[in-house]
Chain A
Amino acid sequence: METGSVNSSASSNKTRSQSPLQEQLLQRRSSRENLDRFIPNRSAMDFDYARYMLTEARKGKENPAANSSPSRDAYRKQLAEALNMNRTRILAFKNKPPTPTESILNEFASAANQAKPSKPRRHIPQTSERTLDAPDIVDDYYLNLLDWGSSNVLSIALGNTVYMWDASNGATSELVTIDEENGPVTSVKWAPDGRHIAVGLNNSEVQLWDSTANKLLRTLKGGHGSRVGALDWNNHILTTGGMDGQIINNDVRVRAHIVETYRGHHQEVCGLKWSASGQQLASGGNDNLLHIWDRSIASSNSPTQWLHRLEEHTAAVKALAWCPFQGNLLASGGGGGDRCIKFWNTHTGACLNSVDTGSQVCALLWNKNERELLSSHGFTQNQLTLWKYPSMVKMAELTGHTSRVLFMVQSPDGCTVASAAGDETLRFWNVFGTPEVAKPAPKTNSEPFAHLNRIR
């Protein structure tokens, strides 16, 4: 008996428009989700949304000005995108139930069971707190010329020179000036100890400096064939990403420093970020690809295979940021042809959400204290946008730069953000709030929901 039949038009529209979000997982199935007889696929339909679109959506269009707050506009915009699951979050319990045959003892995450914070909205100053000059900064999207180390010293590469600015006293000093033929400097990254710093050059070498002694410790050569535009540290491993599309893990303690090579990108690697656990590496390239590499799939000699290859972006992926409060959640931003911020579950490779920001996304930063995401943009506003997560409502837009905000980092205390642009300014923003006592997650509960057993 034939079970496939005519789709009702409302539901077919929904499944079609579901595809941007659904693409990832539907590829695993042999045929597309199909609907049936009189009853459309209820388990995938959102009746509330359908009702809203049929009745209230019209009212909304006629009165756009009436009681519109930014959240309402964002909400309306999201509905207008006609993406089905936009209002809904789908959550699964992190610790899966044991599989039937073996009796696995589940270790339950000692949960930081966050009570819903009911703090008043903090004031976010709309202008930069401080502006410094950054002459000769290279206006190239694919470089990473700014970093703020854990010792509270900010380093910025201007042309062939790397400068250091001590945030505690405002003192500036020069670390190194590279020779013309080797420069300009294409990337800088502080090591986790806040003392050592890696400097990537246009000639494909990477220099390792001790900033307190002002001494060059070693130069990593022979790995890349062209400039090194992206760097990230994972303890003693320095990962370098080059214009040749290679990503190399270097163990800086060892003479033969090349430990592993990740091959997957076929154009310049411009974004490189290790997850907080150091287990996964996210890399973005000019080839519009976003790769997730996992250390547990390491192989000694042959080039390592990626865990996920995510092709949803339609422009270069430079902005990458791992979520500090939710494991396996990665935010990525696309360049001028894409302009979207996408959220990924790096465990399954599923795209959880995609938001069109309207402007090239150059950098992304998560707020360590609140559930917020900051993105920096280019044409036309050159603004920094603060989003509430997960609703993706715009909380603030900070303007001031007069050209695209290519580089953005945050201070070690997580309160200040520094941004630099081709307009040769380095600006500081108090966007993440004032330093206060960090909310200690209540780890006293041994059983996460022990206090919730109620009897009617």
Chain B
Amino acid sequence: MASRTATKDIITLRGSAAIVSEFFGYAANSILYNRGIYPEESFAKVKKYGLPMLLTQDEGVKSFISKLTAQLSEWLETGKLQRVVLVIMSKATGEVFERWNFSIETDSEVVDKGVSREKSDKEIMREIQAIMRQIASSITYLPCLDEPCVFDVLAYTDKDVAAPFTWIESDPKLISNPQMVKLHSFDTKIHKVDTLVSYKNDEWDE
């Protein structure tokens, strides 16, 4: 490996929060594309994490996700965010088909004392790339979503978080009898993000 320059590898709380919320934005877009929630034509390719990533061009979805990631970033900096869940539900019945669960473990020492950590950018990118590839390949085992679906995002936070008015309390929207697949995780040394997808059992499997 080439010698690492010291400045590049220092991760601050703010930087880590930005990495994680940005990851979430791209992951959400990827899930929406791969699961066919929105039509393929509405996505455009950009280069990110060394892969061609697809981003939605739909204004409504774009602004929803960007508002979301901004708020997540804010919560990540306070260390109060426990997990983020992207839920895919049937448009007609509201039944939950899939739950993409991103659990976040925050190094509380960093939040409390404001220290920073060291980890190579490249390595974090590599870890994220692995997760993105896994999301893309998940269509090989996830059951087909035959009916039109909608998505929603839930944030699990600490009780004492002051939520702005645009966020409401919600129920967890769990799936009964789910199948679960654990994907790779990535770690910025300040935030560790685990990915898990749980989905409704296809009737075939019984």
Q: Give A residues with C-beta under 8 Å from B.
A: 1, 3-4, 24-26, 29-34, 36, 39, 41-44, 48, 85-101, 103-106, 108-109, 111-114, 116-117, 325-329, 343, 345, 347-348, 350, 352, 371, 390-391, 448-449, 452-456
Distance (whole angstroms) from the CB of B156 to the closest CB of chain A: 5
Task: Tell me if B58 is interfacial: C-beta within 8 Å of chain A.
Answer: yes
Assuming the contacts A42-B101, A453-B70, asked whether A91 and B180 have C-beta atoms less than 8 A apart, the reply is: no
Distance (whole angstroms) from the CB of B51 to the closest CB of chain A: 19
Assuming the contacts A87-B159, A448-B67, A452-B73, asked whether A97 and B151 have C-beta atoms less than 8 A apart, the reply is: yes
Chain B, range 166-183, C-beta contacts under 8 Å to A: 166-180, 182
Task: Tell me if B68 is interfacial: C-beta within 8 Å of chain A.
Answer: yes
Most buried by A among B152, B166, B198: B166
Q: Give B residues with C-beta under 8 Å from A.
A: 14-15, 18-19, 37-39, 58-61, 63-68, 70-71, 73-74, 82, 85, 91, 99, 101, 103, 148-180, 182, 196, 198, 201, 205-206
The contact of B176 among A34, A98, A456, by CB within 8 Å, is: A34
Contacts of A106 in B (CB 8 A): 60, 63-64
Assuming the contacts A91-B157, A448-B164, asked whether A43 and B170 have C-beta atoms less than 8 A apart, the reply is: no
Q: Are A99 and B150 in contact (CB under 8 A)?
A: yes
Q: Are A29 and B176 in contact (CB under 8 A)?
A: yes
Q: Are B58 and A91 in contact (CB under 8 A)?
A: no
Q: Give Cα A24 to B68, complex, Å.
A: 27
Majority SS of interface residues in chain A?
loop
Contacts of B58 in A (CB 8 A): 98, 103
Q: Which residue of B lies closest to A352 (CB)?
A: B169
Q: Are A449 and B169 in contact (CB under 8 A)?
A: no
Contacts of A92 in B (CB 8 A): 152-155, 167-170
Q: Give Cα A99 to B89, complex, Å.
A: 11
Q: Give Cα A3 to B201, complex, Å.
A: 9
Distance (whole angstroms) from the CB of A49 to the closest CB of chain B: 10
Assuming the contacts A88-B156, A88-B157, asked whether A3 and B165 have C-beta atoms less than 8 A apart, the reply is: no
Q: Which residue of B lies closest to A100 (CB)?
A: B38
Q: List 8 A-B contacts (CB under 8 A).
A: A34-B176, A36-B178, A93-B68, A95-B64, A97-B60, A97-B150, A108-B63, A391-B159
Most buried by B among A34, A43, A96, A448: A43
Q: Are A101 and B148 in contact (CB under 8 A)?
A: yes
